[in-house]
Amino acid sequence: MASPLLIAPSILAADFARLGEQIRQAEAAGADQIHIDVMDGRFVPNITMGPLAVEAARRVTSLPLDVHLMIVHPEDHIQPFAKAGANIISVHVETCPHLHRTVQQIREAGARPSVVLNPGTPAVAVKEILPFVDMVLVMTVNPGFGGQAFIPQMLGKISEIRAMLDALGSSADIQVDGGIDVTTAPQVVRHGANVLVAGTAIFRAPEGIVAATQALREAAQ
Ligand code: DX5
Ligand code: ZN
């Protein structure tokens, strides 16, 4: 089942003093969703944004807000993020001993559930949850910071998950996050990914946000 190619600019690399304007530019360039990286200084070394940032983004765009929770105990924070306007909520399997319950909680809160795998976590860790999720996020760098180099060994994991979804007859999305640019985008798409997160390649591009978003889409097609 072919899933549509979606571009999800990550505002982690945006200029926070001009965040609203930059989100609008990404939308004008044809971005499909806005990726918001939530980090707690515990699960990952960095600290970033919370529900307030999601609520602020909600006021400047009607695009789906794709919230990537890199926090311990994400189950304690689903409601505030959903209320702030998150449309998709991604939780790391490494942080969820009761993954099925957390996924249900996300759906009950009115958002689309997604599960995330760190580079060191095998594809099989999401096998049992696949029938219950709308998206799987395969990290192509270690979470925590933007601007890191793509880990090519993750390509095989993307193919494995696409094969598992096909076997189930599921059209769930496969998102990739970390080091995605015009060179790596065609590779991940060829292996079965269809939602591309990009921070540096979009918000730090010398040619500007609009041209960079369009270039990424063209490279991936
Ligand atoms: C990393 C974050 C990413 C980050 C990607 O922990 O999850 O979303 O913004 O940044 P780039 O595209 O610069 O690798
Ligand atoms: Zn992310």
Q: Any idea what DSSP says for residue 84?
A: H
Give the other-Cβ count within 10 Å of 213's Cβ.
Answer: 25
1 part of a folded domain: no
What order of strands is seen across the sheet that includes strand 173-177?
6-9, 195-198, 173-177, 135-139, 112-117, 88-92, 65-70, 34-39
pLDDT digits over 162-198, tens only?
999 999 999 999 999 999 999 999 999 999 999 999 9
What CATH code is carried by the domain that includes residue 133? 3.20.20.70
pTM for the model stands at 0.98
On the question of pLDDT at 1 being above 80, the answer is no
pLDDT digits over 9-59, tens only?
999 999 999 999 999 999 999 999 999 999 999 999 999 999 999 999 999
Q: Does any ligand 1 atom lie closer than 6 A to the CB of residue 175?
A: no
145 part of a folded domain: yes
Give residue 180 CA to ligand 2 midpoint distance, Å. Answer: 11
Q: Does any ligand 1 atom lie closer than 6 A to the CB of residue 191?
A: no
pLDDT digits over 55-111, tens only?
999 999 999 999 999 999 999 999 999 999 999 999 999 999 999 999 999 999 999
The atom number, within ligand 1, closest to the CA of 202 reads 12
Structural domains of the chain, count: 1
In whole angstroms, what is the distance from residue 22 CA to residue 14 CA? 7
In whole angstroms, what is the distance from residue 155 CA to residue 88 CA? 23
Pairing verdict, β 6-9 and 112-117: unpaired
How far is the CA of 202 from the CAs of 64, 101, 144, 146, in angstroms?
18, 35, 18, 12
Give the other-Cβ count within 10 Å of 147's Cβ.
Answer: 13
In whole angstroms, what is the distance from residue 76 CA to residue 16 CA? 26
Strand-pair partners of 65: 34
Domain, as residue range, for 86: 6-220
52 part of a folded domain: yes
Give residue 210 CA to ligand 2 midpoint distance, Å. Answer: 20
